[in-house]
Amino acid sequence: MTGGPADRLQAALEALDARLPRPEQFPHRARGRWLTARAGTALGVCFVVCFVTGVWSHVLQHPPYGFVPPSRPWWGYALTQGVHVTTGMASIPLLVVKLWSVAPRFWRRPLLPSSLRPTRSALRHGIERVSVLVLVASAVFELVTGVLNVAQAYVFPFFFPAVHFAVAWLAVGSMVLHLAVQWPAIRGGWRLREARRLTDQARGGLTRRGVLGLGLVGSAAAVLTTVGDKIPVLSQISVFSQRSQRGPQGLPVNGLAVWAGIDGAGLAERWRLQLVGPAGQVVLDLAALQGMTQVTVRLPIACVEGWSVAADWTGVRLADLAGLVGGGTRAVVSSPDPGLYGRSEVGPAAFADPDTLIALQLNGEPLALDHGFPARLIAPHRPGALQTKWLDRIEVVR
């Protein structure tokens, strides 16, 4: 091969272009703007709802500096995280239909710029291709990692919440850019009406309407078969519900005591709760804590995987315990668990909420070891990962 490096690279790109598929290799009359516009709109609605609820979930689990997470409505996190995961599941069949409908466009020529020279047309062509690539890659990444997280299959070598959150912004940003560029085509697709559909039906076979129907039925099936761990009345038909099987005391368990290094043998006798606050320090054993005024509240455990289960919790109000060491406006609760969530902060809203307890019982029975025996935090509108178990220290801050 003769010529300079630019010529050799140009020749290599042209050879690659000759080997890649072409639009005519994807023949199917059901493809087209009619299907793309409608599938894309349904997918966009799911993505926007999923994004908004996902941002709220992230903010509650990882509050930015200065933000005070609210404690009401008490069912808020269960609802928003359930909607987040459900709309994510519903998006999967719709994304498949959308990608299928536009598959020929991925290979439309020029696939690569006709020249490596930085001309205006080459730049515009490159930006269009890169934006589509980013949109597709980020959307697929979000759905794949989201499903793996729901299944608790952490096969990826990164911290899921942070990366999933960051790529969500990338996906939505590229979607907005794509809408801005493709708006005339989308609007035109929605204007295609009966005449084209009747022509398709006269030819027989699968029509655009049929493909769209398959996508919508697939989304409904994805929802119905996974939503049972969020809506109990649907648990019998939700065969793929990740939390259809309950744990001890009728409540699922994410973190086991053995993973946290908690030994239950003789724990009730040796356990102590250390309270530290503005007025000093108090140490309570389990009998002293049981002797204080007990309150029962009904609150859900709701986790980032989307499942939630309501239960009756009995224990001592956090504000009452804080009063023993001078009171305050917030608290930091800790446990021997060396994991990421062995320590959490209770902000002012939750701290003052009368339903925020240091729970000793679950559904009328002492806490099972895997549910945090002897004592755990339970608070309204709070991610399950922050409902710290196996408490042994509470620091009260004014």
Say what the pLDDT of residue 195 is: 44
Q: Are 374 and 272 in contact (CB under 8 A)?
A: no
pLDDT digits (tens, 9 = 90+) for 128-166: 778 888 999 999 999 999 999 998 888 989 999 999 999
Strands 343-346 and 357-362: unpaired
Report the chain's terminal Cα–Cα distance, integer Å.
Answer: 75
**CATH number of the 267-397 domain:** 3.90.420.10
Please tell me the predicted confidence (pLDDT) of residue 152.
86
Share of the chain above pLDDT 70, in %: 90
Note the pLDDT of residue 122: 61
Rounded to whole angstroms, how far apart are CA atoms 270 and 345? 25
Q: Provide the pLDDT for residue 129.
A: 75
Q: Determine the pLDDT at residue 22.
A: 79
Using one digit for the tens of pLDDT, what is the confidence trace for 67-99? 999 999 999 999 999 999 999 999 999 999 999
CATH 1.20.950 fits 20-234, yes or no: yes
Q: What is the pLDDT of residue 318?
A: 98
- Model confidence at 32, pLDDT cuts 50, 70, 90, reads confident
Question: Using CB atoms within 10 A of its CB, is residue 391 exposed (0-12), middle (13-18) or buried (19+)?
Answer: buried
The side-by-side arrangement of strands in the sheet containing 393-397 is 280-285, 272-277, 393-397, 330-334, 343-346
Distance CA 268, CA 187 (A): 67
User: Of 70, 65, 63, 67, whose CA–CA distance to 355 is shortest?
Assistant: 70
What's the mean per-residue pLDDT of the chain?
88
Question: Mean pLDDT lowest for which of 18-27, 106-115, 130-139?
Answer: 106-115
pLDDT band for 250, please (50, 70, 90 cuts): confident
Residue 253's nearest CA partner among 268, 263, 243, 238 is 243
CB atoms near residue 272 (< 10 Å):
13
Is 90 exceeded by the pLDDT of residue 370? yes
Average pLDDT of span 37-60: 95
Weakest mean pLDDT among 106-110, 236-240, 368-372: 106-110
Helix (H, G, I), strand (E, B) or coil at 383: coil
Residue 94 CA neighbour count, 13 Å, CB half: 23
Structure tokens belonging to residue 138: 């980020």
Q: How far apart are CA 87 and CA 306, in angstroms?
A: 11
pLDDT one-digit tens code per residue, 325-362: 999 999 999 999 998 899 999 999 999 999 999 999 99
pLDDT of residue 75: 95
pLDDT digits (tens, 9 = 90+) for 268-295: 999 999 999 999 999 999 999 999 999 9
Q: Which two tokens stand for residue 76?
A: 């808020």
pLDDT of the residue at 117: 55
Percent of the chain with pLDDT over 90: 63
Segment of 20-34, 95-109, 203-217, 367-381 carrying the highest mean pLDDT: 367-381
Report pLDDT digits (tens) over 168-221: 999 999 999 888 877 887 888 888 764 455 444 545 567 888 999 999 999 999
Question: What is residue 107's predicted lDDT score, i.e. its pLDDT?
Answer: 78
Q: In this structure, what token pair is assigned to residue 197?
A: 């559909």
Q: Which of 32-46, 181-195, 378-392 has the lowest mean pLDDT?
A: 181-195
Helix or strand (DSSP H, E) at 58: helix 33-61
What is residue 160's predicted lDDT score, i.e. its pLDDT?
Answer: 92
Domain boundaries of the chain, sorted by first residue:
20-234, 267-397
pLDDT of residue 121: 63
In terms of Cα–Cα distance, which of 228, 233, 271 is closest to 252?
228
Distance between CA atoms of 182 and 312, rounded to whole angstroms? 52
**CATH topology agreement for domains 20-234 and 267-397:** no
User: HSE on the CB side for 84, CA within 13 Å?
Assistant: 29
Ranges assigned E (strand) in the chain: 272-277, 280-285, 295-302, 308-317, 330-334, 343-346, 357-362, 365-366, 376-378, 393-397
pLDDT at 143 (0 to 100): 95
Query: What pLDDT does residue 125 have?
Result: 65
Residue 220's pLDDT is what?
96
Alpha-carbon dihedral angle through residues 77, 81, 86, 89, given to the nearest 10 degrees: -170
